[in-house]
Structure 1
Amino acid sequence: MGRVLWHVTMSVDGFIAGPDHDMDWVFERPAAPEASTDVVPRVGAILCGRHTYDVGQRDVGKGSGEAFEGEWSGPEFVLTTHPPAEADSGAAGSAGSAGSAGARTFLSGDIGAAVSTAMAAAGDGDLLVLGADVALQCLEAGLVDELLVDLAPLLLGDGVRLYGGPGRERVDLELVEATGTVLRYRVLKA
């Protein structure tokens, strides 16, 4: 059985989305090479929320329009209370292809049921969770096994924090792997 991985890109000042949930900055640089070599081969399925799905649809022209720029293909699940009009009615509906071997399915309901459905589709692979809302639901439900943070070399100043806000409980983490312990950045002048 695979693991539930929350993979996220974060600015140095701790934001995973800019003001108004802006994600353009994520597409302005290539993904960390570790994602391609270490994470992608183990992914059996992807689970995200509607906002992450919408960002991906909006930004199709900025890349291949596929997960990991087409390096991965498999089942993708979108947890939402409002599936797009082109999706079949009901709790789960197919919304077309997400790569040569994958389909995108829209789910509604409980985060635990969504993770169970996606894990079943992942087989022996890992379930990759993307997007702030769904990932936080998974974390708060005790469903996340590992957190993978891709640190982007910029300061956003405002936006959606990786984790924080009123009522959030402390979550202890154990370091599994680090490709660097000291980050040294040069400030780029405009």
Structure 2
Amino acid sequence: MAKLLYSVTMSADGFIAGPNGDMQWMQSYLAPNAEIDELIPQIGSILVGRRSHDGDDPHKGEPGEGEAFGGGWDGPLFVVTHRLPETTEPGVTYVDQLPKAIAAAKDAAGDKYVNIIGADIARQCFAADEVDEVLLLVLPVFLGDGTRVFAEPGGRNIRLQPHPGSTSRFDVLR
């Protein structure tokens, strides 16, 4: 059965996007990464929020921008939204309820991972106790503002345990 994985690249101060959704901050840090190269074929589907899917990055439309893993992954995407679109995209399923979206993404993933993209969808999946693993890739830069990797009003502890053989992958303790 599929597991839910929140994989994210973040700044050293915990931001996954800069102010106004800017993702260009990470361009100069991108380089081949063996852990990501190993992960990509293990992803069976992607669960993403509408804002992350539609893109709020001011650099949207530039080469590789807005594509999962810089265009290195291809497969079914499940977009969680309260605003179902009038037209659809090939390979993209819009779902208006998180539990339905998780079930559909797991079904599509088979025995591979459902990769979560987007801080708010990740927060909702944590609240639903659905996240199994977290992959945190930290880049050596402070952004000072933007979208946090995890934010919970009032705070919440989510205990993580290092995944065997990895310094950036963690299992979620329940």
- TM bucket by the smaller chain? 0.7 to 0.9
Residue 80 of structure 2: aligned partner: 79
From 114, 126, 130, give the equivalent of 1:143: 130
Residue 92 of structure 2: aligned partner: 104
Gaps of 5+ in 2: 169-174
Whole-Å separation in 2 of the counterparts to 1:29 and 1:147: 21
Percent identical across equivalent pairs?
A: 39
The answer to whether residue 157 in structure 2 is matched with residue 170 in structure 1 is: yes
Residue 53 of structure 1: aligned partner: 53
Alpha-carbon offset, residue 132 of structure 1: 0.7
How many residue pairs align between the two structures? 165
Higher strand share: 2
Whole-Å separation in 2 of the counterparts to 1:175 and 1:86: 42
Residue 117 of structure 1: aligned partner: 104
Give the TM-score normalised by the residue count of structure 2: 0.83
Q: Mark the structure with the bigger radius of gyration.
A: 1
Whole-Å separation in 2 of the counterparts to 1:65 and 1:16: 14
Contact preservation (8 Å) 2:123, 2:151: no
Whole-Å separation in 2 of the counterparts to 1:80 and 1:129: 14
Whole-Å separation in 1 of the counterparts to 2:155 and 2:99: 19
Give the TM-score normalised by the residue count of structure 1: 0.77
Q: Point out 4+ residue stretches in structure 1 off by more than 3 angstroms.
A: 26-29
Higher mean displacement: 144-153 or 70-79: 70-79
Whole-Å separation in 1 of the counterparts to 2:22 and 2:153: 22
The letter of the residue matching 2:76 is P
Gaps of 5+ in 1: 88-94, 97-102, 180-190
Residue 40 of structure 1: aligned partner: 40
